Structure 1
Amino acid sequence: MALKNFLIAAILTVVPASAFAQDWTGPYAGFQIGASDIDVDGAPLDGDGPSYGMFAGYNVQNGAVVYGGEIDYDTTEYDIGNGAVEVDSTTRLKGRLGSDLTAGLVYGAAGIVWATSPELGDDNGYFIGVGYDAKLMGNAVLGAELLYHDFDDYNDSSLDVGVTTFKARVSFNF
């Protein structure tokens, strides 16, 4: 329920975008805050929690098509199974492909994610998702991103972990 309310609030924040044509080529970096919903198949360990992080990337624009790469790091407070398991951090290596809609950039994202957990150890998985960025005045960008993460047989266990995250993002183009 908290993820749903956070998602609605963040989308309403991003909707009023600039109506000017944009050039998305170049480096960028910023900060993000998010919420998660965690589903563990094979064990009663579902959970949720907030995350806080930073990211940096580079975009290239060719006509209306925008593509690029990004790396992000989040400190997480994921509480799984009523505190039985915690996830301390996640790191993502992301490819992005999108379209300049004049009022903003809509994109798809996919890549590799690494997670650290004191109880379960570290493991990697993959993620897919969508996002939207809107340029504000100057070089500031306000965005939102919805990602689904999948960890099959987390750390060689029989646990399949799915994590859905929603993030509000603020970045600056250089």
Structure 2
Amino acid sequence: MEGAMRKHLATGAAFLALSATSVLAQDWSGFYAGVGIGNLEVDTSIAGVKENDVAYGIHAGYRYDGGQWVLGGEFEHDWTDIDLVSGDVSVDRVMRFKATAGYDLGRTLLYVVAGTAEVDVDGLGDDWGGFYGLGAAYAVSPRAIVSLELLEHEFNNIGGSGTDADAWSAGLRASWKF
């Protein structure tokens, strides 16, 4: 009887160990899409012209999980209505093409992000610039992911106007992996 008890305990311990591993493990590979909301602050090269407002958007991308390291690419489009000069100049949207590289901590992914972005400024025009930042994603389930990103953007000579802008964004995102 004592041998049977040991066998059952060993089987139970092995089952718990495997269960804990599968609960903590997350395969980040695959396509995903989702929505986000956050804050975008725009600081221009014009003295005293600095504003912020809510930004909301959509995103879609692909990640490859190579073990401890995860690489990915993403498209993101955010809408906002930041009045820089009341009635004359406003930031309407920001579109980003992202490259990400991250470290897999199981259900948590910490990553760096960089890429190119286009800003649409009503009253000045469009401009392409670069951005970089940090992100953290958490797998609520094998398919549902929540994440937070902090990004710093730089735009020069927007629409040929001579106006430069630095923009900072913080976004909370929800994604579905498929």
Partner of 1:116: 120
Q: Tell me by how many angstroms 1:138 deviates.
A: 3.9
Pair 50,159 (structure 1): closer, same or farther in 2 beyond 3 Å? same
Cα-to-partner distance string for 1:2-42 (whole Å, 9 max, x where unaligned): xxxxxxxxxxxxxxxxx611110000000000102211123
State the percentage of identical aligned residues: 37
User: Given that residues 44 and 81 in structure 1 are in contact (C-alpha distance below 8 angstroms), is that contact kept between their aligned partners in structure 2?
Assistant: no
> AA paired with 1:171?
S
Q: Tell me by how many angstroms 1:166 deviates.
A: 0.3
| 1:127 corresponds to which of 126, 131, 139 | 131
Greater fraction helix:
2
User: Given that residues 115 and 123 in structure 1 are in contact (C-alpha distance below 8 angstroms), is that contact kept between their aligned partners in structure 2?
Assistant: yes
| 1:78 corresponds to which of 65, 76, 82 | 82
Partner of 1:61: 65
Provide the TM-score with structure 2 as the length reference: 0.83
Structure 1, gaps ≥5 residues long = 1-18
> AA paired with 2:84?
I
Q: Tell me by how many angstroms 1:85 deviates.
A: 1.8
Report which of the two structures shows the higher radius of gyration computed on alpha carbons.
2
User: Given that residues 42 and 158 in structure 1 are in contact (C-alpha distance below 8 angstroms), is that contact kept between their aligned partners in structure 2?
Assistant: no
Q: Tell me by how many angstroms 1:93 deviates.
A: 0.5
Q: Distance in 2 between matches of 1:86 and 1:80?
A: 5
Q: Distance in 1 between matches of 2:86 and 2:166?
A: 17
Instruction: Tell me the number of residue pairs that the alignment of Structure 1 and Structure 2 aligns.
Output: 157
Tell me if 1:153 matches 2:164: no
Higher relative contact order at CA 8 Å, sep ≥6: structure 1 or structure 2?
A: 1
Pair 60,96 (structure 1): closer, same or farther in 2 beyond 3 Å? same
Provide the TM-score with structure 1 as the length reference: 0.85
